[in-house]
Each structure stands twice: as structure tokens, then as C-alpha cells.
Amino acid sequence: MNTYLTRGLLAAATGLALSAGLSSCNDLDLEPKFETTPDRVYTDLNGYRAVLAKVYAGFAVTGLGSDDNGASGGGDVQGIDEGFSDYIRQLWSAQTLSTDEAILAWGDQGVRDWHNMNWTASNPFVRGLYYRIYYEIAVANEFIREASDDKLSSRLSAAEVATARGYRAEARFLRAVAYQHVIDLYGGGPFVVETDPAGPFTPPYRTRQELFNYVESELLALSTDADFAEPRANEYGRIDKAAAWAMLSRLYLNAQVYTGTARYTDAATYAKRVIDAGYSLSTTPAGNVASAYGRLFLGDNHTAPARNEIIWPVVFDADNTRSFGGTTFLVNGSTSPSNTAWKAKNGMPQGGWGGMRSTKNLVNLFGADTVRDTRGQFWTQGQNLEISDIGSFTDGYGVIKFRNVTSAGTALGGAQSQSSVDFPMIRLSEIMLNYAEAVARGGAGDANLALSYVNQIRRRAYGLPVSTANSTADLSSLTVDGLLDERGRELFWEGFRRTDLIRYGRFVEGSYLWPWKGGVAAGRAVESFRTLYPLPASDLTVNPNLKQNPGYGQ
């Protein structure tokens, strides 16, 4: 783990933690309240850096101390258990537990609604994710508001202003990402930016198309912004122009779903910019600990070669960035509490929560290649492939992907119950697959180059030199359907599957089923409106401007 970032940037946020709990998105109009006033916080560059830390920390931690840090302060988002309120944990759940990739054994109220696909506007996790996203937007707005050119020039030296303008560009990016998640998960929603009143204010509603236009404009502006760091020029854990290009590629790949208009040429264009920016696939195994692919998800994935592939990581540290969310949730939740060997494999000797398992669809995606394809790593000892009982952790294979061990095999963290694995929000292989799919769907680009990108990824998965043709790993041609399977093998459990299945018309439809889809053992089609989550009933009550998504009532 990069200690400078976690102990310097993220830890700097603890003394300036926001106290506003966002009981509803009607509170988004409020300037987030600090324990000291802005004129005492933004006195120098260190003050700006500390608040930028909070903007980044919104993706990683849950509050001032989090419920496992031993610090007081409580969670940022109220109305949900603090451990459940983590951004990565809830985003992952919405994108993964609602699909063929995973199922969760726990019986907490609302948890099984993900997989049963019967969530309502009162589901606590749908609500918690929504408030976490909008809390992130509120924090970013506060920073951007206090980083206007006038305020910077009145508070900082000329040299410091230039650095702070770079901070402002990063906050704009993180806000755009949060709004992009609103587009994908909820369609439309309340809209607030830094120029809106800081006092009592009821946010207007913006449609999916309107939010798409806004996010696109922000990312396009940042992609050429002189204040925004050039690719690979920022410190580890922080973002740059390549991240903006990558998010544009994602946005355009899904534009037909979001707006009704395909933008595949644009998706390919921005993916190619990222690919040409100097990142490289991780191709060196970690001895007997992990394959070159598996090395991307170890506790020291902040080091080369893994860091050369990860474009934007959300950083975690077992000793300094603690919560019951993030990769601590992913590692512990997919590990048996009673199997010593399993806990040792995943680097959690004192952990293991017995929660998530794969469905057979994920296992079967690898088929006979489970042995040769190093990506398909499952814990089968004592586990059943078939899921007869959702509540039984032994039904469904375990997933061995995120592991709290170093490339030397050492478990991390003093308590060995928290994770130091950084979560890859963007990495190179996703962008290579974006390019391939965009071209396969008719976007302008080089079809042979697209095929070469996919085959490089496959060769790495098979433990082969990525630049050498191989008849075992290589595909002879690309198909749109085949690329969905390849994304499933390469990106599983990284929070893409729901979006991918929707783009392919296989999420709610009866043409593709998985165990317990829709709450039925064999799976079933569900209502078409479930391609979007509902806006929380609690927010509709206080903001008459909002419009509920079809199918969820008023």
C-alpha cells in the first residue's frame, strides 16, 4: 500500500471530516459542514490537499473513523449500517449480486433483494448507495466551490494556485464519476453543482439524457484541461487525463442504453487514447503465489507490474484505511470463517465472513479452460457447484480473486482481518476490451488491432508471452457475443456485469438465466423496469421535483 497516500492524503481528511449526514438528497444544497469554518480550513495548500483527501476518501471509507477504526465520529451516510454504507461495497453489490456472477448467503433485511431482483424504493441498500453517491457529489461540490479562481488567488501564492487548480480538476473528475454512476444505476436524479446556492435549496431533477450531456461535457473538458495531470504524471492513487478518457470510453460504450443513440466510434477513439498512454498489461507472475493476472488483485498491487496496468485504484490499507467495506468486504465476504486453508489462501487468518459465492454460470464461463485459464480460480473443497439454498455458504464455489497477501505470499495487516488490496476502478485490459467491442459493434477502428488486444489479454490469462501468437489461447476472429464472455472472464467481480448484461439485452430477459435469478431456483425473466434502480422513497417525499423510475410507483 502506498503509505504516503493513505497516511498523508487520506489520513489528512480525518480532522476535517464532514458532519452532515444527508438524511435526504434535499440536503445536497447544503455546503458540507466542517468542524472548522472554510476560512480556517483553506488557509494554505495543505488545507486544500486535506479536503481533496476527503473527496478521494469518499470512495474508500465510511466516516470519520469508520466502524472498525476505533475512532469516534460515525458514518457519513445515515439511515444505513455504517459498514454497509461504503461506496465500493454498495456499488459492487448493485453491479454484481444482481447478476450471474455472485450470490450472497446473509439474511440481512434487503440483502437478498439484489439477487432476487425484487428491490423496492424502500430497500435500505438501494437507498444507501444512492445517498453515498450523492454525498460524494456534495463533498466534491464543496471543494470546487472553495477552489474558485478568486478564492485561490486570495489565499495562495501563484505557485500554489497552479497546484490547487490541479486539485480542482481532480475533484471535478470524481464528481463526474459519481454522476456517471447515477446515470447507470438510477437513470435521472437530483442535480447540484458548485454554483448552486449554498443555503436552503431544493435540487432540480435531471433526466438520464441531461445527466449524460453534463458528464460528457465535464469529462471532455477535463480531457484537454491544462490543469489536469497528464497520463501517469500524478502520484499513485490519484487520477489524470487517462482516467477521463477511460470514463468517456465507458460512457460512449453504453450510450445507446443511456440515450438511445450509439456512440461506438467515440468509445473506440477514447479507448485508444488510453491504450497509447503508456500503461501496460501485468505479465509477470508472483512465483507460486499468483499468476500475472492474479497479481493485479494482491495486497501489494500498488507496486509494479500490477500498478502499470491499474489506471485508477481506490486505495486501501489494512492498518490505516479500515472499514467493513471496500476490498475488506470482498476478501472476507468470499472466505469461509471456519476453513483455515481458505483463510490463509486469501490472507485473512483472523477473518472470513462466509458470504459471497459464484453461481455455476460464472464457473461454466471458463468451462474446460478452468485449469489453463489462470483467471478462473475457485475454491471447490467442501463446496457444491449447485445452489440449492441461498442461505448456505457451502452452496456455490468460492471465488479466489481479491487476496490480502503480497506477491511473496505474506498476509498483510496487524489483525489480518482487514484488506490492503487496492480496488481497480479502471485498468488497461477493460479499456482494450472496450475498444474491441466498440469496433465489433461497428465503430470506426482497426479490427485486426482489436483482435490483437483481446488475444494479448487471453495469452496473459493462459500464462503465455502476450506478444507471441498462440493457437491455444488466440481467437481467430471477434464476435460481439464472444466479447461479452471475454469480459465476463476478465472483469468478473470488478463491478461491470450488470451494466454489460443490460447492454447485451440479457439482464432482465428470459433468454439468459442463472440460478435464483428473480428468486426462482432455475431463474426467470423479471420486469423490464429493473434495468434501473428506484429513487429512494425517502427522497421523493422531501423533494417534489424528483420523478420516480417507471415500475416503482410514486
| Res 102: pLDDT | 98
Helix axes 428-440, 480-491, angle to 10 degrees: 170
Output the CA–CA distances (angstroms, integers) from residue 172 to 87, 213, 254, 369, 417, in the order listed: 18, 15, 21, 43, 34
pLDDT at 70 over 70: no
pLDDT at 154 over 90: yes
Return d(Cα 548, Cα 554) in angstroms, integer.
6
| Res 4: pLDDT | 34
Q: What percent of the chain has pLDDT over 70?
A: 91
Beta bridge partners of 312: 426
The distance from CA 192 to its chain's CA centroid, rounded to whole angstroms, is 22
| Res 73: pLDDT | 55
Q: Are 519 and 526 in contact (CB under 8 A)?
A: no
Cell numbers found for residue 465: 508471452
Beta-carbon contacts of residue 280 (< 8 Å; ≥ 6 apart): 305, 308, 309, 428
**Which DSSP symbol is given to 423?**
E
pLDDT at 356 over 70: yes
Cell numbers found for residue 469: 501468437
Task: Name all domains of the chain by residue range, CATH numbers in brackets.
Answer: 8-203+543-554 (1.25.40)
* Element holding 363 (H helix, E strand): helix 360-366
Average pLDDT over residues 529-545: 96
Beta bridge partners of 379: 398
Choice between 488 and 20, residue whose per-residue pLDDT is larger: 488
What 3 state SS string does 58-110 have? Answer: CCCCCECCCCCCCCCCCECCCCCCHHHHCHHHHHHHHHHHCCCCCEECCCCCC
> Position 326: which residue type?
G
Averaged confidence pLDDT in the chain: 91
pLDDT bin (cut points 50, 70, 90) of residue 46 is: very high
Return d(Cα 175, Cα 230) in angstroms, integer.
19
Q: Are 74 and 64 in contact (CB under 8 A)?
A: yes
What 3 state SS string does 193-247 have? Answer: CCCCCCCCCCCCEECHHHHHHHHHHHHHHHHCCCCCCCCCCCCCCCCCHHHHHHH
Return d(Cα 111, Cα 356) in angstroms, integer.
11
Return d(Cα 145, Cα 20) in angstroms, integer.
17
pLDDT at 515 over 50: yes
Average pLDDT over residues 198-204: 83
pLDDT at 237 over 90: yes
| Res 180: pLDDT | 98
Return d(Cα 149, Cα 72) in angstroms, integer.
35
Return d(Cα 477, Cα 234) in angstroms, integer.
37
User: 10 Å Cβ neighbour count for 476?
Assistant: 7
Choice between 30 and 251, residue whose per-residue pLDDT is larger: 251
Residue pLDDT, tens place only, 279-294: 999 999 999 999 999 9
Q: What percent of the chain has pLDDT over 90?
A: 84
278: phi then psi, degrees, rounded to nearest 5? 105, 0
Residue pLDDT, tens place only, 306-342: 999 999 999 999 988 888 999 999 999 999 999 999 9
Peptide bond into 305 cis (omega under 30): yes
| Res 29: pLDDT | 39
Using CA atoms in the order 406, 409, 415, 417, what is the torsion angle rounded to 10 degrees? 80
394: phi then psi, degrees, rounded to nearest 5? -80, -5
Return d(Cα 81, Cα 86) in angstroms, integer.
10
| Res 19: pLDDT | 31
Return d(Cα 542, Cα 18) in angstroms, integer.
22
Average pLDDT over residues 5-26: 37
| Res 22: pLDDT | 37
Output the CA–CA distances (angstroms, integers) from residue 137 to 5, 12, 491, 514, in the order listed: 21, 19, 27, 35
Output the CA–CA distances (angstroms, integers) from residue 14 to 83, 169, 392, in the order listed: 17, 22, 39
SS3 426: strand
Beta bridge partners of 357: 103
| Res 468: pLDDT | 97
Cell numbers found for residue 165: 487548480
Q: Which residue has the cell 433526466?
A: 207
The distance from CA 69 to its chain's CA centroid, rounded to whole angstroms, is 23
Average pLDDT over residues 19-30: 39
SS3 153: helix
**Which DSSP symbol is given to 403?**
B
Return d(Cα 420, Cα 319) in angstroms, integer.
8
Return d(Cα 219, Cα 173) in angstroms, integer.
7
Return d(Cα 378, Cα 490) in angstroms, integer.
14
